Amino acid sequence: MNCARYAGWLGSKNQSPPSYLRPSEAHLSQRQASVPEPPALKHIAAFYAIEKEIHGRSAEERRLVRQQKSRPLADAFEAWLRAKLALISQKIKLADAIRYALSRWQGLTRFIDDGRIELDNNTVERSIRGIKLSRKNALFAGSDGGAEHWAVIASLVETCKINDVDPLAYLTDVLTRIFNGHPNRDIDQLLPWAYRAQALKAVA
Protein backbone atom coordinates (compact mmCIF):
# COMPACT_ATOMS: atom_id res chain seq x y z
CA MET A 1 0.00 0.00 0.00
CA ASN A 2 1.55 3.27 -1.12
CA CYS A 3 0.10 6.03 0.98
CA ALA A 4 1.23 9.52 1.86
CA ARG A 5 3.81 9.44 4.64
CA TYR A 6 2.62 6.08 5.97
CA ALA A 7 5.04 5.52 8.86
CA GLY A 8 5.17 1.78 8.32
CA TRP A 9 7.09 2.28 5.08
CA LEU A 10 9.59 4.85 6.30
CA GLY A 11 12.99 3.23 6.67
CA SER A 12 11.99 0.21 4.64
CA LYS A 13 14.64 -0.88 2.15
CA ASN A 14 11.94 -1.58 -0.41
CA GLN A 15 9.98 1.62 0.02
CA SER A 16 9.26 3.82 -2.98
CA PRO A 17 9.28 7.32 -1.50
CA PRO A 18 8.03 9.18 -4.55
CA SER A 19 4.81 7.24 -4.31
CA TYR A 20 4.61 7.67 -0.59
CA LEU A 21 5.84 11.23 -0.50
CA ARG A 22 4.52 12.47 -3.81
CA PRO A 23 1.74 14.44 -2.08
CA SER A 24 4.45 17.09 -1.52
CA GLU A 25 3.84 18.20 -5.07
CA ALA A 26 0.10 18.25 -4.56
CA HIS A 27 0.56 20.17 -1.32
CA LEU A 28 2.87 22.57 -3.07
CA SER A 29 0.29 23.40 -5.70
CA GLN A 30 -2.61 23.40 -3.21
CA ARG A 31 -0.84 25.61 -0.69
CA GLN A 32 -0.05 28.07 -3.45
CA ALA A 33 -3.76 28.78 -3.84
CA SER A 34 -3.45 31.90 -1.68
CA VAL A 35 -0.16 32.90 -3.31
CA PRO A 36 -0.30 31.87 -6.99
CA GLU A 37 3.06 30.79 -8.38
CA PRO A 38 2.59 29.63 -12.00
CA PRO A 39 6.29 28.75 -12.51
CA ALA A 40 6.06 25.99 -9.89
CA LEU A 41 3.07 24.47 -11.64
CA LYS A 42 4.89 24.65 -14.96
CA HIS A 43 7.81 22.71 -13.45
CA ILE A 44 5.45 20.01 -12.18
CA ALA A 45 3.55 19.88 -15.47
CA ALA A 46 6.83 19.23 -17.29
CA PHE A 47 7.34 16.03 -15.27
CA TYR A 48 3.86 14.81 -16.16
CA ALA A 49 4.45 15.55 -19.84
CA ILE A 50 7.43 13.19 -19.79
CA GLU A 51 5.43 10.54 -17.93
CA LYS A 52 2.75 10.74 -20.60
CA GLU A 53 5.38 9.96 -23.23
CA ILE A 54 6.68 6.87 -21.46
CA HIS A 55 3.40 5.51 -20.13
CA GLY A 56 3.19 1.76 -20.69
CA ARG A 57 6.89 1.27 -21.39
CA SER A 58 9.12 -1.11 -19.46
CA ALA A 59 10.68 -0.04 -16.17
CA GLU A 60 14.14 0.15 -17.72
CA GLU A 61 12.94 2.29 -20.63
CA ARG A 62 11.20 4.63 -18.22
CA ARG A 63 14.33 4.89 -16.08
CA LEU A 64 16.52 5.77 -19.05
CA VAL A 65 14.14 8.47 -20.30
CA ARG A 66 13.76 9.90 -16.82
CA GLN A 67 17.53 10.01 -16.39
CA GLN A 68 17.82 11.92 -19.65
CA LYS A 69 14.82 14.24 -19.38
CA SER A 70 13.47 14.31 -15.82
CA ARG A 71 16.81 14.61 -14.00
CA PRO A 72 17.65 18.03 -15.50
CA LEU A 73 14.12 19.21 -14.73
CA ALA A 74 14.41 18.04 -11.12
CA ASP A 75 17.75 19.81 -10.67
CA ALA A 76 16.37 23.01 -12.14
CA PHE A 77 13.19 22.78 -10.06
CA GLU A 78 15.17 22.28 -6.85
CA ALA A 79 17.33 25.29 -7.62
CA TRP A 80 14.22 27.34 -8.36
CA LEU A 81 12.59 26.31 -5.09
CA ARG A 82 15.66 27.22 -3.05
CA ALA A 83 15.96 30.57 -4.77
CA LYS A 84 12.26 31.30 -4.28
CA LEU A 85 12.44 30.31 -0.60
CA ALA A 86 15.23 32.79 -0.04
CA LEU A 87 13.16 35.62 -1.51
CA ILE A 88 9.82 35.18 0.27
CA SER A 89 8.62 35.56 3.84
CA GLN A 90 9.29 32.41 5.84
CA LYS A 91 5.92 32.73 7.55
CA ILE A 92 3.62 32.30 4.55
CA LYS A 93 2.09 29.02 3.40
CA LEU A 94 4.15 28.96 0.22
CA ALA A 95 7.32 28.85 2.31
CA ASP A 96 5.89 25.94 4.31
CA ALA A 97 5.12 24.07 1.10
CA ILE A 98 8.61 24.64 -0.32
CA ARG A 99 10.29 23.51 2.88
CA TYR A 100 8.05 20.45 2.93
CA ALA A 101 9.14 19.51 -0.58
CA LEU A 102 12.85 20.25 -0.10
CA SER A 103 13.02 18.25 3.14
CA ARG A 104 11.81 15.20 1.19
CA TRP A 105 13.66 15.85 -2.04
CA GLN A 106 15.54 12.56 -2.12
CA GLY A 107 12.28 10.66 -1.86
CA LEU A 108 10.50 12.91 -4.33
CA THR A 109 13.11 12.30 -7.00
CA ARG A 110 13.71 8.60 -6.44
CA PHE A 111 11.36 7.79 -9.31
CA ILE A 112 14.08 9.07 -11.65
CA ASP A 113 16.36 6.18 -10.70
CA ASP A 114 13.69 3.49 -10.58
CA GLY A 115 11.39 2.99 -13.53
CA ARG A 116 9.02 0.87 -11.46
CA ILE A 117 7.98 3.86 -9.38
CA GLU A 118 5.13 6.10 -10.45
CA LEU A 119 5.38 9.87 -10.39
CA ASP A 120 2.48 10.13 -7.95
CA ASN A 121 0.28 7.91 -5.81
CA ASN A 122 -3.03 8.93 -7.34
CA THR A 123 -3.89 5.34 -8.29
CA VAL A 124 -3.43 4.21 -4.71
CA GLU A 125 -5.30 7.18 -3.30
CA ARG A 126 -8.27 6.31 -5.51
CA SER A 127 -8.10 2.65 -4.54
CA ILE A 128 -8.24 3.36 -0.80
CA ARG A 129 -11.03 5.93 -1.06
CA GLY A 130 -13.66 3.25 -0.51
CA ILE A 131 -11.78 1.94 2.51
CA LYS A 132 -11.54 5.44 3.94
CA LEU A 133 -15.26 6.05 3.46
CA SER A 134 -16.11 2.77 5.19
CA ARG A 135 -13.46 2.99 7.91
CA LYS A 136 -16.09 3.30 10.65
CA ASN A 137 -17.10 -0.27 9.83
CA ALA A 138 -13.75 -1.36 11.26
CA LEU A 139 -14.92 -0.15 14.67
CA PHE A 140 -17.23 -3.17 14.72
CA ALA A 141 -14.56 -5.73 13.85
CA GLY A 142 -15.00 -7.23 17.32
CA SER A 143 -11.31 -7.43 18.24
CA ASP A 144 -7.83 -6.39 17.16
CA GLY A 145 -7.51 -9.71 15.36
CA GLY A 146 -10.77 -9.12 13.54
CA ALA A 147 -9.59 -5.68 12.44
CA GLU A 148 -6.33 -7.18 11.17
CA HIS A 149 -8.26 -9.76 9.15
CA TRP A 150 -10.47 -7.01 7.73
CA ALA A 151 -7.35 -5.08 6.69
CA VAL A 152 -5.88 -8.15 4.98
CA ILE A 153 -9.05 -8.78 2.99
CA ALA A 154 -9.35 -5.10 2.08
CA SER A 155 -5.73 -5.09 0.87
CA LEU A 156 -6.29 -8.23 -1.21
CA VAL A 157 -9.44 -6.80 -2.78
CA GLU A 158 -7.75 -3.54 -3.79
CA THR A 159 -4.68 -5.40 -5.05
CA CYS A 160 -6.97 -7.53 -7.20
CA LYS A 161 -8.49 -4.42 -8.71
CA ILE A 162 -5.10 -2.97 -9.55
CA ASN A 163 -4.13 -6.25 -11.25
CA ASP A 164 -7.41 -6.57 -13.19
CA VAL A 165 -8.52 -9.60 -11.19
CA ASP A 166 -12.15 -10.10 -10.14
CA PRO A 167 -11.97 -9.95 -6.29
CA LEU A 168 -14.93 -12.27 -5.69
CA ALA A 169 -13.73 -14.88 -8.18
CA TYR A 170 -10.20 -14.60 -6.79
CA LEU A 171 -11.19 -15.02 -3.13
CA THR A 172 -13.57 -17.88 -3.96
CA ASP A 173 -10.92 -19.76 -5.94
CA VAL A 174 -8.06 -19.07 -3.53
CA LEU A 175 -10.03 -20.12 -0.45
CA THR A 176 -11.09 -23.28 -2.29
CA ARG A 177 -7.47 -24.06 -3.16
CA ILE A 178 -6.36 -23.53 0.43
CA PHE A 179 -9.20 -25.74 1.71
CA ASN A 180 -8.15 -28.45 -0.74
CA GLY A 181 -4.60 -28.45 0.57
CA HIS A 182 -2.62 -25.92 -1.45
CA PRO A 183 0.96 -26.25 -0.10
CA ASN A 184 2.20 -23.45 2.15
CA ARG A 185 5.52 -23.37 0.32
CA ASP A 186 3.68 -22.24 -2.83
CA ILE A 187 1.56 -19.59 -1.15
CA ASP A 188 3.12 -16.89 -3.35
CA GLN A 189 1.30 -18.44 -6.30
CA LEU A 190 -1.96 -17.28 -4.76
CA LEU A 191 -1.08 -13.60 -4.60
CA PRO A 192 -3.20 -11.44 -6.93
CA TRP A 193 -0.44 -10.56 -9.41
CA ALA A 194 0.73 -14.18 -9.66
CA TYR A 195 -2.89 -15.33 -9.93
CA ARG A 196 -3.46 -13.01 -12.89
CA ALA A 197 -0.31 -14.32 -14.60
CA GLN A 198 -1.56 -17.89 -14.20
CA ALA A 199 -4.98 -16.96 -15.59
CA LEU A 200 -3.46 -15.28 -18.62
CA LYS A 201 -1.20 -18.25 -19.27
CA ALA A 202 -4.18 -20.61 -19.05
CA VAL A 203 -6.14 -18.52 -21.56
CA ALA A 204 -3.16 -18.45 -23.94
Q: Which residues of 109-120 are buried (b: 16+ CB within 10 A; e: fewer)?
A: bbbbeebebbbb
Give Cβ neighbours of residue 142 (< 8 Å, ≥ 6 apart).
none
Using one digit for the tens of pLDDT, what is the confidence trace for 131-182?
A: 677 777 667 777 888 878 888 888 888 889 888 899 999 999 999 999 999 9
Q: What is the pLDDT of residue 13?
A: 42
Q: Which residue has the higher pLDDT, 7 or 161?
A: 161
Pairwise CA distance, residues 111 & 102, whole Å: 16
Give Cβ neighbours of residue 198 (< 8 Å, ≥ 6 apart).
189
Between 25-29, 138-142, 184-188, 190-194, the lowest mean confidence (pLDDT) is in 25-29
Using one digit for the tens of pLDDT, what is the confidence trace for 22-65?
A: 444 544 544 444 444 578 888 899 999 999 999 889 999 999 99
Q: Has residue 92 got a pLDDT over 50? A: yes
Q: What is the pLDDT of residue 19?
A: 39
Pairwise CA distance, residues 82 & 79, whole Å: 5
Closest by CA position to 108, among listed 177, 32, 21, 180:
21
Q: Which residue has the higher pLDDT, 122 or 169?
A: 169
Q: Has residue 84 got a pLDDT over 90? A: yes
Closest by CA position to 15, among listed 100, 101, 121, 98:
121
pTM of the model: 0.57
